[in-house]
């Protein structure tokens, strides 16, 4: 009896609360193969099945009495218990909070519930948009959520005067303002690049509003724009992904995802749209607000193929832009030059260094493929830990002195830490040729931390400090040679692994990876790297001349443009908006061409057309 | 009694005579605070909080009434000089206008004019409204009904402070990233009258002498002008090391200035800035965001140390007592005239 009772209790609990029985099969189950399914109908069925898994899990997760907005949206998507959902919605709307993170979930519920919610619930929704004053926010993702929500809600309640809205504007005024901002943002993005580019989490805050726009906007122009931007952002992710992991340089990532590369909201979208990885816990949280409307999106075959075809390595370049610069800059949006090399075993990506984004910038790194990346710190990179009011004043408009401390209690606790592994630095200059990265540092003596931090994962197969000065390591099927240019020491990392701390003002790192398949042995790889011509000088400025494993002679000097095989690289002239085998766009063109094999798709924002073609 | 002594005695009597009835009267102004509550229950952009930040008003200087929406980024306020019930607040969303002392609100600006830092009417052209923005300056000819950009001549257009010369219509000063700029044609064109290395965060015109101005800067110290803002000089005794947030004139006592800043504490001058007395001893910290001088209660100062209570002093800062809020960042402290009933 003693043994039977706990089991009986568990059984009763599972019956009483369906959420307790609901697993997240894709999150905890085996990794999917990631193989591209050529049959369109099967691909679509699999996509809808994944969507169904996520929505059903959410709908069963929380008793209605405690349901939040995501739970209610899931129930509405499944058309479950509309009276109960309505009653609970009225309760939830009594304490609105979260600004734009309240707006788009409520917009979603309002639209999903148009033919389900009770009149009382619809009235509560209407009243909430009169009495609750959500803030517009101060970043690009905030504005996308805010204006998309404003547009759709003004459309839902047209012709109403200003006293019916929290901001005092009429429905017509709200719609006109939102339309103007959305056009402006799309124009910026398709001419000089996205500001919060390639974000491992915030990608959701772009994809979700664009899905809503593509599905619910009555204006055919905005509906088309939404659909095109959805493809645009998804394609931008697909080309910079490996096994569904967002790789390379990011405008924003976080302390968790920069190490465990799979564990970001972006992996939810890879799972849902491409089926080539597992979703994060709770389907990425916010991902639910995409899932509940996902049936209205057809993932383009060409994007699916770009995301999953890793048969051969490719080099991809992009031009992005910084967020708006308010102070300490003569340009509103400075260019960001990105390079990503993607192969089957690993990917390497970088930007040019500098303060390109505040707080959460990830400038360069290698991500290796892992059979199951869950819990694996499959990355190697370095950064110059920097923080300061100068950076924050550039990208935020507030008073200077309080900002660094305020960042640390706004969800970015490592911002002022010397051990930080996130963030850009004004003292870092980076160049990437193929899969080789050279980062040089010239750190001012009054910088917050005069040091370079290198990340060495707990999941490296091996790591050896070689007498040559190279550190040789292996992660998955990637061999990595890491060359610190100044003396260093090791520090343990919470969560495993080690931090290479190099406390020298003139500094740098060379990263030279290779695939295990490219060498007959570990010893052969090491011997090959040791034999590579390398000249290093740190005084008066850091300077490196290095011949890569691919035979390119790269010369980098701090404060000077890099040279490759004797030719000076002019990034401003050479970096297009997108350039590579799969995505191509000229700066200023408003036109993105996707290519895979015989397939092409052109997203032309000049004519608002999507053109598909198949080469015979 | 010497002639100088007689003058001093007569002046003191006049001052007492002027102030005594005012002290007994009900205040003619209400204290307003733009508050970001940062204690338990506070929120950040996009994240929940139960505490109500935003505009607070106090008639009795002891109890505070929350007015308008919960809002964590309101930076500056003013009122329509023709009607004190009409309140304007420069905020993250742009410029908010309330026609009824905060009962109802409208955001008067659109997506391209946001994160307002300061707002000022032209006393000589009371429909003309100027708005400082992090990317320039906006002008409204009709009290916020419509807006246009007016910032020709300003490079690095971050603007945090505005003051309109009350002695001449259309004469406007702007505190920008690289200096103090002056326009004499209602902001259509600007010229820099004082370069600075970093931002000018506050600009004021003396209520006693329209040719006197003062500016608090980030890295250029405390600047004054005695010729209507054409030339500026740095006042000694303050230094350039710390960010100066707020500089205010005593509206009643000529020559009295009160200054605060990050690490600066509260500084009081009785001689137009020639000398300064540190009046921070009774405050919990020297990082002081904003200060105000009560126009109705002689000797009463207010100070808002960073993430602390708001403090009041009845002896010009020699002693302080906490008033309210527990833990708050007060972006602005100010007085608006109390409308006639």
Query: Do residues A483 and A452 make contact, with C-beta atoms less than 8 angstroms apart?
Result: no
pLDDT in tens, B55-103: 999 999 999 999 999 999 999 999 999 999 999 999 999 999 999 999 9
Model confidence at B23: pLDDT above 50: no
Query: Do residues A138 and A243 make contact, with C-beta atoms less than 8 angstroms apart?
Result: no
Quick one: closest CA in B to A324, which residue? B135
* Total-model pTM: 0.94
Q: How many helices (H) and strands (E) does chain B have?
A: 1, 27
The reported pLDDT for the residue numbered B341 is 67
Q: What band does B22 get if pLDDT is binned at 50, 70 and 90?
A: very low
From CA B77, how far away is CA B84, in angstroms rounded? 12
- In this structure, is residue B271 part of a structural domain? yes
- In this structure, is residue B136 part of a structural domain? yes
Q: What band does B27 get if pLDDT is binned at 50, 70 and 90?
A: confident
According to DSSP, the residues that pair with A591 across neighbouring strands are A604
Instruction: List CB contacts (< 8 A) between B217 and chain A.
Output: none
Q: What is the arithmetic mean of pLDDT over B246-269?
A: 97
Model confidence at A471: pLDDT above 90: yes
According to DSSP, the residues that pair with B301 across neighbouring strands are B293, B313
The reported pLDDT for the residue numbered B41 is 63
The reported pLDDT for the residue numbered B19 is 44
Tell me how far CA of residue B77 lies from CA of B89, B119, B251, in angstroms. 4, 7, 18
Instruction: List CB contacts (< 8 A) between B137 and chain A.
Output: none
The count of structural domains within chain B is 1
Query: Do residues A456 and A500 make contact, with C-beta atoms less than 8 angstroms apart?
Result: yes
Write out the residue range of the structural domain in which residue B213 sits.
30-337
Share of chain A above pLDDT 90, in %: 93
Of the candidates B46, B107, B263, which has its C-beta nearest A98's C-beta? B46
Model confidence at B6: pLDDT above 60: no
- In this structure, is residue B11 part of a structural domain? no
Quick one: closest CA in B to A95, which residue? B50
Share of chain B above pLDDT 90, in %: 87
Quick one: closest CA in B to A169, which residue? B106
Token output for B185: 């044609």
Residues B298, B300, B303: CA angle, nearest 5 degrees = 155
The reported pLDDT for the residue numbered B42 is 67
pLDDT in tens, B155-170: 999 999 999 999 999 9
Model confidence at A384: pLDDT above 90: yes
Query: Do residues B175 and B136 make contact, with C-beta atoms less than 8 angstroms apart?
Result: no
From CA B39, how far away is CA B268, in angstroms rounded? 29
Quick one: closest CA in A to B99, which residue? A168
The reported pLDDT for the residue numbered A4 is 38
Q: What band does A18 get if pLDDT is binned at 50, 70 and 90?
A: very low
User: Given an 8 Å threshold on Cβ–Cβ distance, is A101 in contact with B47?
Assistant: yes
As a whole number, the mean pLDDT across chain A is 95
Residue from B36, B41, B45 to probe the interface with A (highest A Cβ count within 10 Å): B45
- In this structure, is residue B72 part of a structural domain? yes
Instruction: List CB contacts (< 8 A) between A177 and chain B.
Output: 110-111
As a whole number, the mean pLDDT across chain B is 92
The reported pLDDT for the residue numbered A408 is 81
The reported pLDDT for the residue numbered B38 is 82
Distance from CA of B156 to the nearest CA of A (A): 7
Q: What is the arithmetic mean of pLDDT over A263-271?
A: 98
pLDDT in tens, A97-153: 999 999 999 999 999 999 999 999 999 999 999 999 999 999 999 999 999 999 999
Distance from CA of A406 to the nearest CA of B (A): 10
Q: What is the arithmetic mean of pLDDT over A412-434?
A: 96
User: Given an 8 Å threshold on Cβ–Cβ distance, is B93 in contact with A177?
Assistant: no
User: Given an 8 Å threshold on Cβ–Cβ distance, is A166 in contact with B115?
Assistant: no
Query: Do residues A378 and A475 make contact, with C-beta atoms less than 8 angstroms apart?
Result: yes
Q: What band does B45 get if pLDDT is binned at 50, 70 and 90?
A: confident
Model confidence at A551: pLDDT above 80: yes
Distance from CA of A373 to the nearest CA of B (A): 30
Instruction: List CB contacts (< 8 A) between B69 and chain A.
Output: 133, 166
The reported pLDDT for the residue numbered B11 is 43
Query: Do residues A371 and A459 make contact, with C-beta atoms less than 8 angstroms apart?
Result: no
Model confidence at A176: pLDDT above 80: yes
- Beta strand pairing call for A379-383 and A364-368: antiparallel
Cα A206 to the center of its chain, rounded Å: 10
- Write the DSSP assignment of A17-29 as a string of letters: -HHHH---HHHHS
In chain A the first and final C-alpha atoms are separated, in Å, by 73
From CA B66, how far away is CA B188, in angstroms rounded? 37
From CA A512, how far away is CA A548, in angstroms rounded? 7
What are the start-end ranges of the H helices in A38-118? 40-61, 69-77, 82-92, 100-112
Model confidence at A6: pLDDT above 50: no
Model confidence at B44: pLDDT above 50: yes
User: Given an 8 Å threshold on Cβ–Cβ distance, is B45 in contact with A166?
Assistant: no
The reported pLDDT for the residue numbered B15 is 42
Query: Do residues A325 and A109 make contact, with C-beta atoms less than 8 angstroms apart?
Result: no
Residue A293 CB contacts under 8 Å (≥ 6 apart), including other chains: A77, A108, A112, A211, A212, A215
According to DSSP, the residues that pair with B150 across neighbouring strands are none
- In this structure, is residue B68 part of a structural domain? yes
Token output for B33: 């605070």
CATH number at residue B208: 2.130.10.10
Token output for A611: 């053109």
- In this structure, is residue B83 part of a structural domain? yes
Residue A299 CB contacts under 8 Å (≥ 6 apart), including other chains: A43, A47, A234, A273, A274
Model confidence at B197: pLDDT above 60: yes
From CA A152, how far away is CA A100, in angstroms rounded? 13
- In this structure, is residue B156 part of a structural domain? yes
User: Given an 8 Å threshold on Cβ–Cβ distance, is A99 in contact with B46?
Assistant: yes
Distance from CA of A120 to the nearest CA of B (A): 24
Helix (H) or strand (E) holding A364: strand A364-368
pLDDT in tens, A145-172: 999 999 999 999 999 999 999 999 999 9
pLDDT in tens, B261-305: 999 999 999 999 999 999 999 999 999 999 999 999 999 999 999
The reported pLDDT for the residue numbered A411 is 77
The reported pLDDT for the residue numbered A2 is 36
pLDDT in tens, A43-86: 999 999 999 999 999 999 999 999 999 999 999 999 999 999 99
pLDDT in tens, A224-237: 999 999 999 999 99
Q: Give residue ranges of B with CB < 8 Å to any A CB.
A: 43-50, 69-73, 92-93, 97, 104-107, 110-112, 114-115, 117, 134-135, 155-156, 158, 177, 199, 201, 218, 243, 245, 262-263, 287, 289, 306, 329
Q: What are phi and psi of B93, to 5 degrees?
A: -75, -15
Q: What is the arithmetic mean of pLDDT over A362-369?
A: 98
Residue from B36, B37, B41, B46 to probe the interface with A (highest A Cβ count within 10 Å): B46
From CA B58, how far away is CA B303, in angstroms rounded? 15
According to DSSP, the residues that pair with A336 across neighbouring strands are A320
Distance from CA of A389 to the nearest CA of B (A): 12
Distance from CA of A222 to the nearest CA of B (A): 18
């Amino acid at each position: 009896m003693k043994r039977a009772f706990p089991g009986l209790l568990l059984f009763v609990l599972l019956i009483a609360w369906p959420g307790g029985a609901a697993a997240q099969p894709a999150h905890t189950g085996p990794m999917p193969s990631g193989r591209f399914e050529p049959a369109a109908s099967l691909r679509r069925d699999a996509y809808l099945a994944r969507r169904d898994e996520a929505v059903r899990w959410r709908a069963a997760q929380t008793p209605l009495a405690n349901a939040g907005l995501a739970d209610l949206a899931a129930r509405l998507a499944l058309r479950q218990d509309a009276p109960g959902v309505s009653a609970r919605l009225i309760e939830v709307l009594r304490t609105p909070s979260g600004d734009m993170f309240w707006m788009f979930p409520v917009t979603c519920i309002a639209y999903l519930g148009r033919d389900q919610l009770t009149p009382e619930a619809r009235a509560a929704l209407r009243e909430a948009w009169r009495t609750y004053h959500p803030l517009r926010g101060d970043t690009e993702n905030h504005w996308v959520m805010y204006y998309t929500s404003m547009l759709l809600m003004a459309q839902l309640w047209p012709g109403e005067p200003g006293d019916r809205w929290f901001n005092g504007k009429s429905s017509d005024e709200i719609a006109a303002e939102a339309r103007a901002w959305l056009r402006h943002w799309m124009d910026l993005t398709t001419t000089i690049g996205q500001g919060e580019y390639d974000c491992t989490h915030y990608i959701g805050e772009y994809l979700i509003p664009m899905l809503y726009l593509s599905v619910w906007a009555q204006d055919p122009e905005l509906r088309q724009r939404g659909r095109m931007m959805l493809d645009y952002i998804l394609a931008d992710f697909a080309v910079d992904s490996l096994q569904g992991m967002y790789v390379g340089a990011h405008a924003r990532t976080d302390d968790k995802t920069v190490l465990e590369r799979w564990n970001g909201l972006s992996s939810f979208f890879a799972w849902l749209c491409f089926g080539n990885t597992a979703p994060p816990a709770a389907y990425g949280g916010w991902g639910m607000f995409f899932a509940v409307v996902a049936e209205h999106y057809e993932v383009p075959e060409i994007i699916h193929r770009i995301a999953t075809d890793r048969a051969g390595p490719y080099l991809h370049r992009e031009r992005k832009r910084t967020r708006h610069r308010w102070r300490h800059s003569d340009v509103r949006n400075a260019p960001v030059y990105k390079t990503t090399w993607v192969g089957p075993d690993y990917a390497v990506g970088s930007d040019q260094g500098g303060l390109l984004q505040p707080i959460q910038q990830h400038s360069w790194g290698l991500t290796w493929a892992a059979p199951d990346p869950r819990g694996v710190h499959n990355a190697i990179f370095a950064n110059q830990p920097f923080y300061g009011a100068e950076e924050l004043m550039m990208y935020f408009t507030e008073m200077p002195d309080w900002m660094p401390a305020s960042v640390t209690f706004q969800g970015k606790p490592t911002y002022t830490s010397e051990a930080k592994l996130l963030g850009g630095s004004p003292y870092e200059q980076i160049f990437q040729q193929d899969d080789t990265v050279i980062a040089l540092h010239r750190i001012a003596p009054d910088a917050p931390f005069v040091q370079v931090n290198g990340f060495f994962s707990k999941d490296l197969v091996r790591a050896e400090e070689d007498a040559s000065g190279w550190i040789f390591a292996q992660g998955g099927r990637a061999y990595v040679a890491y060359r610190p240019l100044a003396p260093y020491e090791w520090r343990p990392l919470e969560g495993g692994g080690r931090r290479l701390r190099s406390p020298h003002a003139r500094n740098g790192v060379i990263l030279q990876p290779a695939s295990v398949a490219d060498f007959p042995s570990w010893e052969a790889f090491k011997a090959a790297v040791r034999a590579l011509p390398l000249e290093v000088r740190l005084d008066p400025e850091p300077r490196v001349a290095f011949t890569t494993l691919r035979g390119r002679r790269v010369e980098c000097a701090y404060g000077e443009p890099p040279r490759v095989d004797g030719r000076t690289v002019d990034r401003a002239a050479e970096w297009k908006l997108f350039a590579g085998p799969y995505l191509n766009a000229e700066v200023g063109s408003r036109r993105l061409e996707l290519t895979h094999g015989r397939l092409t798709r052109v997203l032309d924002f000049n004519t608002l057309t999507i053109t598909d073609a198949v080469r015979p | 009694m010497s002639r100088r002594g007689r003058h001093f005695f007569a002046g003191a009597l006049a001052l007492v005579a002027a102030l005594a009835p005012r002290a007994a009267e009900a205040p003619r102004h209400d204290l307003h605070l733009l508050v970001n509550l940062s204690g338990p229950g506070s929120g950040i952009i996009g994240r929940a909080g139960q505490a109500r930040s935003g505009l607070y008003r106090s008639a009795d200087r002891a109890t505070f009434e929350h007015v308008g929406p919960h809002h964590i980024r309101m930076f500056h306020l003013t009122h329509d000089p023709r009607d004190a019930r009409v309140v304007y607040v420069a905020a993250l969303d742009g410029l908010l206008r309330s026609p009824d002392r905060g009962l109802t609100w409208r955001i008067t600006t659109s997506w391209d004019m946001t994160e307002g830092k300061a707002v000022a009417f032209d006393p000589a052209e009371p429909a003309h409204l100027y708005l400082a923005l992090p990317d320039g300056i906006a002008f409204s000819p009709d009290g916020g009904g419509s807006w246009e950009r007016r910032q020709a001549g300003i490079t690095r257009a971050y603007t945090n402070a505005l003051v309109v010369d009350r002695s001449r219509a259309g004469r406007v000063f702007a505190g920008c990233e690289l200096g103090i700029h002056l326009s004499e044609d209602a902001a259509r064109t600007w010229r820099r009258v004082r370069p600075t290395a970093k931002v000018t965060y506050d600009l004021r015109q003396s209520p006693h002498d329209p040719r006197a101005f003062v500016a608090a800067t980030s890295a250029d110290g405390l600047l004054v002008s005695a010729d209507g803002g054409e030339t500026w000089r740095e006042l000694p005794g303050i230094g350039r090391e710390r960010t100066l947030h707020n500089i205010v004139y005593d509206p009643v006592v000529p020559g009295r200035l009160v200054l605060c800043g990050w690490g600066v504490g509260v500084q009081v001058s009785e001689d137009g800035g020639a000398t300064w007395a540190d009046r921070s001893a009774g405050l919990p910290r020297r990082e002081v965001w904003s200060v105000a001088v009560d126009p109705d209660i002689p000797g009463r100062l207010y100070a808002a140390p960073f993430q602390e209570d708001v403090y009041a002093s009845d002896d010009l800062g020699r002693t302080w007592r906490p008033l309210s809020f527990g833990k708050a960042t007060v972006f602005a402290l100010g007085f608006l005239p109390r409308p006639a009933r």
